[in-house]
Amino acid sequence: RAAEWQLDQPAWSGRLRITAKGSTAFIKLEDKTSGELFAQAPVEQFPGIAVESVTDSSRYFVLRIEDGNGRRAFIGVGFVDRGDAFDFNVALQDHFKWVRQQSELARQAQDLEQGPKLDLGFKEGQTIKLNIANMKKKEGATGSTRPRPAGPGGLSLLPPPPGGKSSSGERPASLPTPARLPGTPITDSLLSWPQPTAAPAADVWGDFAKASG
């Protein structure tokens, strides 16, 4: 209880500073003018025995100070301003919160290193097969043209429409004027055929005549 202390006659007054080295925090009591160290309390965990709050005030604490030679003592410290006592608590809490985060990150990294690793490299003698048949088919489809069946006289059976162009970019030769049959008009909607060259009568059914004979 802070009420049992001689608060009107403190044994020492000065400034309090908190530093950290690794995971350990150090509460240092220093002379407010020269900065000379009066005592320090190493804190390895908070809350803990190194720093304890009193039961009757939020401005007073019990510190376990050490001299570095193994000697320890418990002293009572207090802050004149309540805001300073609040900052004292927050500084210790933030430090050990950071310590817990670093410990958790180190544990996760160790679990990843010890866990099974995914090997995506090729084993000795291992091969892969790529199917590029469709790619070749698409590349060759643009340059390939289907030959058209030739009719009598070496002309195409289906002439291109008026104004059309061939695949080579040249306009095909015009067809000869169709012969008009007696009594049969030829209109634009009917297909015009060139007049074939008459072949000798003896050659039309020559092979069939020989076979029947």
Candidate CATH numbers 1.20.1080.10, 1.10.15.40, 2.60.40.1120, 2.30.29.30; the one for domain 2-114? 2.30.29.30
| 213 residues of the chain, pLDDT tens digit each | 888 888 778 889 999 999 999 889 999 999 988 989 999 999 988 888 899 999 998 899 999 999 888 899 999 999 988 999 999 999 999 999 999 998 888 888 877 777 666 667 777 777 777 777 766 555 555 555 555 555 555 554 565 666 555 555 555 555 555 555 555 555 444 455 555 555 555 555 555 555 555
Dist CA 59 CA 97 (whole Å)? 22
Alpha helices, H only, the chain:
82-114, 133-141, 206-212
| Domain spans in the chain, listed from the N-terminal domain onward | 2-114
pTM for the full model?
0.50
Dist CA 92 CA 99 (whole Å)? 11
Secondary structure of 106-150 as H, E, C letters: HHHHHHHHHCCCCCCCCCCCCCCCCCCHHHHHHHHHCCCCCCCCE
